[in-house]
Structure 1
Amino acid sequence: MSANLTPGPFGKSFTDLLASPALTVLRMAALAASQDDGLDEDTLDLMYEQVAAGVLTDLAPEVAWRELARGLSARAPSRMLRALRECDALAVLLPEVDALFGVPQIADDPDQVDIGEHLLRTVDEAARRDAPFAVRYASLLFNVGKSDSPREHLPVHYRHIERGVPRIEAISARFGVPDDCLDLALLANAECERVHRAAEMRAGSITVMLERVDAFGHPERFDRLMTLCTCDFRAYPGRASRPYPKAAMLRTALSACRNVDEAAITAAHGVQRSQAADALLEARAQAVAAALRSKRWGDAD
């Protein structure tokens, strides 16, 4: 690349910025995430030429990850992702994410959204909320199982959770991401839609969910899941300024469960662990029902 080519937003030549063309492409995209505007057309054209020439082919994943993480940590991660997609770099680095663009998903008004565009709004909402990095990472990946849903079922995505697990694991292994990022991405893949469907009248199901996600043993991870689900909710059209009632409801339910005297229930059943577990689940469900003012606590899913 010629040393006299200067991208407008940053006032530096690519070769002045970094000696490696591959790193330059990624750094420019990452820097865009911290700017007020996206990259200009001339810059994107230059980046496209470099990607087309194959500069990313032999780039070490751990090196690429540093720039991707830089962009995800910035104030507008969508600008990095959009720049990478426009120069075809996203298809090289994260083909699982790139494949989500153009895939429909059920929404309210309008009745469908493009999952890729929804993803961009979700990661930006996470940035606006100053969410931890693990939340931003999970928001990038938790829908990757939907890219190849059978077309005859669209915009419904049957068995996307099962398809998403190996993809999230493969991406995380490829880039060597921290374990907490992988853990939250897998949890969001499995639970986000269940969180959206949670209902006050199903106190039993809510209690089972809290146990399933180990909200009692890992409250910080549970709180991060609630943050991600909130970002996903607010990313849909017309919801940007709306509160997310399911997160508040589940936090209330968790608080109610913590007031149940687990030790007393366990002691009452002695060594009968299965009976104690069942009794604890029922006591927690009744506490949730009372806290949410449910008329019944419902059957557990």
Structure 2
Amino acid sequence: MDSRSTPNSADFIQTHPGLGVLRMATLFAESQTDPDDEALGLMSAQVEAGALGGAEPSEIWPELVRGIMCPAPSKMFGALRECGALFQVLPEVAAIFGVPQLSDEPAQVDLGEHMLQALDEAALRNAPLPVRFALLVMNIGKSDSPREHLPVHYKHIERGRPRVEALCARFEAPEDCKELALLALAECERVHRVSKMRAGPVAAMLERLGAFSTSEQFHQLMTVCACDFCAHPGRSGQSYQKSALLDIAFEACAEVDNAADDQTMARAEAIARAFRSLRWSDEPA
């Protein structure tokens, strides 16, 4: 490793040793490097000595934000996991490592490693904090899915919602972070399944996602879903077709009269027309 790009152990020194562990992990996310043995040993020693025990969530949160907004947030959370700090700071997130998730090739991925890759995809897109936070926590309801059902995660939304809410309350996370995380928890997998053959459900989905009232949050959710999609092996940098499809549907609804008696039906009809045109354009000449 090039020592010029490696965080110096002197940077580890902090007034509060627990915050020093977090700051050191953040430095790896900033420099996009892996921890060397010296740094990891120092961090592990502090964790084993109980340094994080006296750190308040209100003190930890700014350090987590700094790391998650770095160019390589996976380096921060990877270092925290290696030294044992992640289990103390974010036990809900630490618990998803080693849990299988369905994928393409290979057929299963590690949920924790998938989350790290999704965070780096968000960094490549310069995504805002709510997007990155949602990717960090939206799968924490899958950590204790019944083993006989794995890699399928039945009722993970019901298990995840109170955990996300409790985590946000513990750190006093901003409301927009909490709202997007809960929305991603409930809707991300549905977005992945959206089809241009079903205009009615798409219209209902857009309304449920707040596309016509909170468009910024809707577009942030599309970024969450795109990062989640691209985090699977072999997909990094690919375009996310489901987001493009929903963008077409959203734009089609602009022609709908706001005074229409049944807006959902009117929007579904507008989306159906747009999807029919899309299907015709997909046909070979």
Q: Does 1:280 align with 2:276?
A: no
Which protein is richer in helix relative to its size? 2
CA contact (8 A) 2:34 2:79 kept: yes
CA RMSD, aligned part only? 1.6
1:78-108 superposed Cα distances (whole Å, 9 cap, x missing partner): 0000000001100001000000000001101
Partner residue in 2 for 1:9: 6
Letter in 2 for 1:178: P
| Range moving further from structure 2, 39-48 or 149-158 | 39-48
Letter in 1 for 2:220: R
Aligned with residue 132 of structure 2, among 128, 136, 140: 136
Alignment correspondent of 1:191: 187
TM-score, normalised to structure 2, is 0.93
**SS, match of residue 13 in structure 1:** helix
TM-score (norm 1): 0.89
Count, aligned residues: 275
Q: Could you tell me whether the CA contact under 8 Å between 1:32 and 1:39 is conserved in 2? A: yes
After superposition, residues 123-202 of structure 1 pair within 5 angstroms as 123-202=119-198
* Structure 1 residues 122 and 208: alpha-carbon distance in aligned structure 2, compared to 1, 3 A threshold: same
What residue in structure 1 maps to residue 282 of structure 2? none
Is contact 2:7-2:31 (8 Å) kept? no
Note closer, same or farther for the CA distance 1:256–1:66 as it changes in structure 2 (3 Å cut).
same
Are 2:97 and 1:101 equivalent residues in the alignment?
Answer: yes
Counterpart of 2:206 in 1: which secondary structure?
helix
Whether the 8 Å contact between 1:289 and 1:295 is mirrored in structure 2 is no
State the secondary structure of the residue aligned to 1:105: strand
Distance 1:98 1:11 in 2: 26
Instruction: Measure, in 2, the Cα distance between the counterparts of 1:20 and 1:77.
Output: 22
Following TM superposition, by how much is the alpha carbon of 1:10 offset from its aligned partner in structure 2, in angstroms?
A: 2.8
Answer yes or no: is the 8 Å Cα contact 1:14–1:21 preserved in 2. Answer: no
AA aligned to 1:80 is: M
Asked if structure 2 preserves the Cα contact closer than 8 Å seen for 1:121 and 1:235, the reply is: yes
Name structure 1 gaps, 5 residues minimum.
Answer: 1-7, 266-275, 297-301
Cα distance in 1 for residues equivalent to 2:196 and 2:241: 11
1-side partners of 2:207 and 2:223: how far apart? 18
Q: What displacement does 1:241 show?
A: 2.4
Unpaired runs of 5+ residues, structure 2, are 280-285
Provide the C-alpha distance between the structure 2 equivalents of 1:92 and 1:181, rounded to a whole number of angstroms.
21
Deviation at 1:295, TM superposition (A): 11
Distance (Å, rounded) in 1 between the aligned partners of 2:220 and 2:228: 12
SS in structure 1 opposite 2:31? Answer: coil
1:249 is aligned to: 245
CA contact (8 A) 1:201 1:295 kept: no
Q: CA deviation at 1:129?
A: 0.4
- On the 8 A contact 1:100/1:116 being kept in 2, the answer is yes
Partner Cα distance (2:278, 2:35) in 1: 55
Q: Runs of 4 or more off by more than 3 Å in structure 1? A: none
| Offset at residue 294 of structure 1 (A) | 7.7
Contact 1:138 1:184 in 2 (8 A): yes
Distance 1:252 1:45, change over 3 A: same
The correspondence of residues 57-76 of structure 1 with structure 2, limited to 5 A, is 57-76=53-72
Residue 266 of structure 2 aligns to which amino acid in structure 1? Answer: A
Deviation at 1:283?
Answer: 1.0
Give the corresponding residue for 1:27: 23
How much does 1:37 deviate?
A: 1.1
Which protein shows a greater Rg? 1
Closer, same or farther: CA 133–295 of 1 in aligned 2, 3 Å: closer
Task: Please list the CA deviations of residues 124-167 of structure 1 after superposition, one character each: whole Å capped at 9, or x if unmatched.
Answer: 00001000111011110111110000000000000001111001
User: Are residues 1:86 and 2:110 paired?
Assistant: no
After alignment, is 116-125 or 38-47 more displaced? 38-47
**How many angstroms apart in 1 are the aligned matches of 2:74 and 2:209?**
29
Matched residue, 1:289: 272
Identity across matched positions, percent = 55
